[in-house]
Chain A
Amino acid sequence: MYVIEAGLMIDGTGEEPIPGCSVMVKEGRIFQIEKTTHFQLPEDIEVIDAHHLTLMPGMIDCHTHLHFPGGPDINNSYSMLALTESQSYLTILSIDNIQKDLRMGFTTLRVLGTPFYIDVAIRRAIEEGLVIGPRLKVAGQGICVTGGHMDKADWSPDVFVNGRTGVGDGPWGCRVAAREQLKYGADLLKINACGGSHNLNEPWHQEMTYEEMAAVIEEAHWAGKRVAAHAHGGKGITDAILAGLDSIEHGLWLTEEQAKMMAEHNVYYVPTLSTHTRGLELGKVGSGSSEEGWKWLVKACEDRWVSLERAKKAGVKVCLGTDAGFWMYHGENALELEEFVRAGYTPMEAIKAATILGAENLDIANITGSISVGKYADLILVDGNPLEDIKILQKPNNIVQVYKEGRPIK
């Protein structure tokens, strides 16, 4: 039990921040919130002097990959990892990665595709206190059609790699893949609705049929779980929304119609601006792109702002996601907030996307995502005011302390 006396408290809901605010934490949960001047301090309670710091909710990254190490090589190596590395090595690498995310204030991560169910194992190890890490919501191996986005094979067809991705073809094949992921502990399902195409007039191609997606989504909803889809644009997005999808990842080319449908059907949007920005920065060689792949990336980076604008206008709820581990290193997740501001969001809107909206997307808004009485004390103490300069959240030295369920991390 302790009380944090913060210079400024941003609660994550979009409400006006409160200067000079005290927050009491009891048994890992937020017990009381009150202006410091009015706070009745119980006797003998530990007081954390944060008068010069900003207190805000722990952030949520809605799109991460545990076992990807980040960096320029990733584009050419990511599909091989499940082939070349043992489960044990990938598990240890994953834990190291997510501890980096946690130390930068990301107290919850949604994990969208990991081989061998090591994500389930790590989630459980964290829950049981065997290892320190963020709260994880994991999608298991993901579900993809033969040869789809998550079933890229850079090796000879006669080499069989088991446990990398849930491959399903046809509605029943996909339904069985869904059942399998749920059976082995997935908290949500991830599907691949449409991938990218080198035809720049239509830079997407649909991978899963409406029936295939509907089967997966029905199965997930029966189990009380949500579904996210890797989807770039076109009819695949429309089909996914009509099939009951809960969250669209990337969504580089949304039409106005699709944006409206997303708002109507309460579909969340995770644009992962930072990953494509990073790819662009790395350049053609640095990002490991082919000639056509590079052209596609350049076009994607231009067009995505239009989709984001359409989503915003239609009232779609947008969340922070980074594809952490792909080009982005784990720990760089706060770049996405800067990207939101670049796109015209206010810092407060960016913070909401990083906190309460992510919590809603993950269906955990009852326990985290804002500084509210009763929720877990997932908190960050920041040196500086992110509402004035959103970039400070990217600097390790400015993330003075992180609390996960009340427990200090640094």
Chain B
Amino acid sequence: MQQLIKTNFAFTANENDPVRKKIGVLIKDGVINIVDSWENLSHLSDPTIDVIDAGNYTLMPGLIDCHVHVNTSGDPAEKESEYDEIRFTAAKTTLYALRNVQRHTEMGVTAIRDMGCRDWVAPAIRDSIYAGWYKGPRMVVAVRGITSTGGHMDVYKLIRPDWPTVDTMGCIADGPDEGRRAVRTQIRDGADVIKINATISEYVRATGGECTPEMTFDTMKAICDTAHALGKRVAAHCHGGPGVRDAIEAGVDTFEHGYFIDDDLMEEMVKRDRFLTPTMSALHCPLDNNDLGTEPALLKWYKITLPAMMGEVKRAKKHGVKILAGTDAGMPYVWHGMISQEMIYFEKYGLTNLEALASATRVAADGLGMKDKIGQIKAGLFADLIMVNGDPTKDLTVLQKKENIVFVMQGGEILIDRR
């Protein structure tokens, strides 16, 4: 099956020529076959080729959100109680998560990376989309996040101590041996990527800003070695400091949040070809919605974290760190589908429009280990393409409105066509 998309204007996300005019994209069986000027392709007269005219819409690669949590919606109005985590059955969590995942498609996001879910919903939804049961983005999933006893993803610290602990979103692992087992378990259960927790904000607060580790170096090394041997990358929730230094040394591939990663560590990350996912939305969206809560300890935390977050991308750009766009969707006020918001923050705080767009396309694909599969309009990659009413290379805000996402194609399959 062949399709030929004609467009006056395209953001290709290629490193050279990211913006092209009057091109055609020939797609064969869901994979981009040729990208060339329309002049050179317009002569193709095979009647079986489906010609799709983008007119004046901007053609671009489908967007990628590198950090989501599918089982929470982020919309405070959709939260039923403080204890949804334990009140929802697995079935309800799955249906709720499917709805969250489909919100990405609506906004032109054709790939997402889930960084920790409950009840194995992420791999199940991924597989159901792949099998064609439901429409939705490509999914790279971590299954459970690996954490220390009492660590960031050990939610049982909120429950009375004599209650039996059951792994939920976090898989508790203390030490290299348990770390290895945790990696193998997540992969057995369908993980494409391994998520760990390298530092915990409670410790950063308690030490007055020193980002002490949540996991020992030995544990993270065992996790990374095991994951890499099985062909999977490792993402670490982190803030900065010795915990990040250990994580870099241990082999962690992508660093999530990292608000306090200093210049030395950024240099190290560049040397070793690692990625940074600032997730500015995680802090900026609650700020924009005037809801940082009222807990004094948390407000004190925000006082140091907000400015650190705002300075992060500029410093990362200066050092040449590869920046990934990820929202932390599912956190309060971080809706699923709003990767555009993350790019807008990037632009506000130091990246150019094109750099912001690259972080949610070409660079994001690279960070996910899929640079030969998605993220650019380029021969050999999947036809994950969207058409946008407006020019995001000049104005990222056009991506924020659902009605501007007029066409979404994934692997050649048209999921949305509102032209």
Mark A residues whose CB is within 8 Å of B: 116-117, 162-163, 172, 175-176, 179-180, 182-184, 221-225
Residues of B within 8 A of A225 (CB): 206
B160 to chain A, nearest CB (A): 9
Taking the complex as formed, is B137 at the interface, i.e. its CB lies under 8 A from any CB of chain A?
no
Q: List 5 A-B contacts (CB under 8 A).
A: A162-B162, A163-B161, A183-B156, A224-B207, A224-B208
Asked if B150 contacts A179 (CB within 8 A), the reply is yes
Nearest B residue to A120 by beta-carbon distance? B161
Q: Which of B157, B203, B216 contacts A184 (CB 8 A)?
A: B157
B213 to chain A, nearest CB (A): 6
Q: Which of B157, B174, B203, B214 contacts A224 (CB 8 A)?
A: B203
Asked if B162 contacts A183 (CB within 8 A), the reply is no
Indicate with 1 or 0, residue by residue over B193-223, a CB within 8 angstroms of chain A CB atoms. Answer: 0000000001101111010111010000000
Taking the complex as formed, is B192 at the interface, i.e. its CB lies under 8 A from any CB of chain A?
no
Residues of B within 8 A of A182 (CB): 150
Asked if A117 contacts B149 (CB within 8 A), the reply is no
Residues of B within 8 A of A172 (CB): 174-175
- Interface of A (DSSP majority class): helix
Taking the complex as formed, is B94 at the interface, i.e. its CB lies under 8 A from any CB of chain A?
no
B88 to chain A, nearest CB (A): 24
Asked if A176 contacts B149 (CB within 8 A), the reply is yes
Mark B residues whose CB is within 8 Å of A: 148-151, 154, 156-157, 161-162, 174-175, 202-203, 205-208, 210, 212-214, 216
Other than the given A162-B162, A180-B150, 6 more pairs (CB < 8 A) read A163-B162, A182-B150, A184-B161, A222-B203, A222-B213, A223-B212
B152 to chain A, nearest CB (A): 11
Residues of A within 8 A of B149 (CB): 176, 179-180, 183
Nearest B residue to A186 by beta-carbon distance? B150
A337 to chain B, nearest CB (A): 32
Bound: A116/B161 CA distance, A: 8
Nearest B residue to A87 by beta-carbon distance? B162
Residues of B within 8 A of A184 (CB): 150, 157, 161
Known contacts A116-B162, A172-B174: A183-B208 contact under CB 8 Å: no
Q: Which of A117, A162, A176, A223 contacts B174 (CB 8 A)?
A: A176
Residues of B within 8 A of A175 (CB): 174-175, 216
Residues of B within 8 A of A180 (CB): 149-150
A90 to chain B, nearest CB (A): 14
Nearest B residue to A162 by beta-carbon distance? B162
Bound: A359/B162 CA distance, A: 32
B170 to chain A, nearest CB (A): 12
Nearest A residue to B242 by beta-carbon distance? A222
Bound: A370/B150 CA distance, A: 35
Asked if B212 contacts A221 (CB within 8 A), the reply is yes
Nearest B residue to A170 by beta-carbon distance? B175
Asked if A223 contacts B162 (CB within 8 A), the reply is no
Of A162, A176, A225, the most chain B CB neighbours within 10 A belong to: A176
Residues of B within 8 A of A223 (CB): 202-203, 206-207, 212
Asked if B161 contacts A117 (CB within 8 A), the reply is yes
Bound: A224/B208 CA distance, A: 8
Bound: A155/B202 CA distance, A: 39
Bound: A179/B154 CA distance, A: 11
Bound: A224/B206 CA distance, A: 5
B349 to chain A, nearest CB (A): 30
Of B202, B205, B216, the most chain A CB neighbours within 10 A belong to: B216
Residues of B within 8 A of A221 (CB): 212
B157 to chain A, nearest CB (A): 5
Bound: A222/B161 CA distance, A: 22
Bound: A214/B310 CA distance, A: 37
Residues of B within 8 A of A117 (CB): 161
Bound: A223/B148 CA distance, A: 13
B204 to chain A, nearest CB (A): 9
A340 to chain B, nearest CB (A): 32
Residues of B within 8 A of A224 (CB): 203, 205-208, 210, 212
A-B residue pairs, 9 tightest by C-beta: A183-B150, A224-B206, A222-B212, A179-B149, A224-B207, A172-B175, A183-B157, A176-B174, A179-B150
